[in-house]
Chain A
Amino acid sequence: MMSNNPYIPMPVTITKIINEVDTNDIKTFRLTFQNKEDEQKFKYLPGQFAELSIFGKGESPIGIASSPTEPGYVEFTVQKAGVIVPGLVTAALHDLEEGAEIGMRGPLGKSWPIEFLEKKNIVVVGGGFAFTTLRSLINYMLHKDNRKRFGEITVVYGARNPGLLLYKNELAAWEKRDDIKTNITVDKGNESWKGREGFVPNVCKEVAPSPKNTVAVICGPPIMIKFTLPVFYDLKFAKENILTSLEMRMKCGIGKCGRCNVGFKYVCSDGPVFSMAELEELPRDF
């Protein structure tokens, strides 16, 4: 019953932990497969997620932050969730050290629609912590075997302050490349911050990408989404060409346990990626 049982996780080892932010509550975990067969079976694309298992605590659905172009491991950037009551799984995960063994179940959900994105210009807009599957997408597109499949790549990424930006080394590396336009911004800088200050929606307005043959991929906190969408509508982006990813409380991740639906769609198995055109058809139940 082990084979093809979608509830059974595969054993993985934490081989690297990166503390991403000054507040110490967001870490990137690099997971390495213990069984070669599992690694071959785990075929994913940017935008998908997996259920991470801490035995004795439970499971948590987390977006995949690495790109399938990086073989040998899978990375997840996890926030220690919950302010008053800590999240059972994410808090336990944050207490683990390199070498610890956890479980991983997936890949789950629908990816960013890679075929749809091909031959188009891509504008990636991210805010704060919601940059993980966008990072996966950017690294996927920037890979030497893939770069020519996509048009211009523009990134607008913002955080509240410089210390809260994720993947700082990669951001710096992207800024040096000429095949990606990187616009990093913070709401408020500090003494050492030499970059841009300003909210993500305003930066999008300044960058003003043309809607022609272009898809915008937007993830961020609700407040950022709320003010960023009108910018893209004003730029005349069609709703089919604006993509986002939803979050809901999940358990099974395979469309059976019945809690993450928005209308008749399950965020876990019909999503989490949706276009604004698709979301418009669904009720406001998220």
Chain B
Amino acid sequence: MRRADALAAIYPQLEHAVVVTIMGAVAAELQAIGHRPNFFYLQHAMGLASSMGLGIALARPEKQVIVFDGDGSILMNLGGFTTLARYRPRNLVHVVFDNESLLSVGGFPTATSTGSDLAGIAAAAGVPRTATVRTLDEFTHAFADALRAGDLTTIVAKVEAVGPSAFVTDLALLENRFEFQKWLRQR
């Protein structure tokens, strides 16, 4: 499965959700499909996208929050799984695209390439719903199930280590940040 295809497959379901992504390929690919004011791209601070998602989910429990994370990023904040599980925001779906590498800095393999199981770590931390998916069909079903279930879910989507040719986009960081804040506070 390619991450860009996975994002495209669920793109219609992101229309009314609050979306937070990590930097690099995920941000560039989602913007290439189509930026929306309800999408925020955390273009640094690796590991904190899930923490931002938690902050938003706790502040706005009536909004559906979706975080697009990556293996390299979440490996920097594994303790965050325990915090997510502890507060169990039922409005948060946490998707981890696991390409088993740090793609944007040369493709060096991460620990998931040697067997570290992020869904297993999430489950052991106490995240109530977890899944590892390997095909587009499995992914779209797991994502739809998570939205229906209305509970904290971590979906680890195993994806190919391929991405866009460039990571810098036309959207300025602060433009994104203030537009997102405006959207979030008006709704």
Binding between chains A and B: no
Residues of A in contact with B (beta carbons under 8 Å apart): none
Residues of B in contact with A (beta carbons under 8 Å apart): none
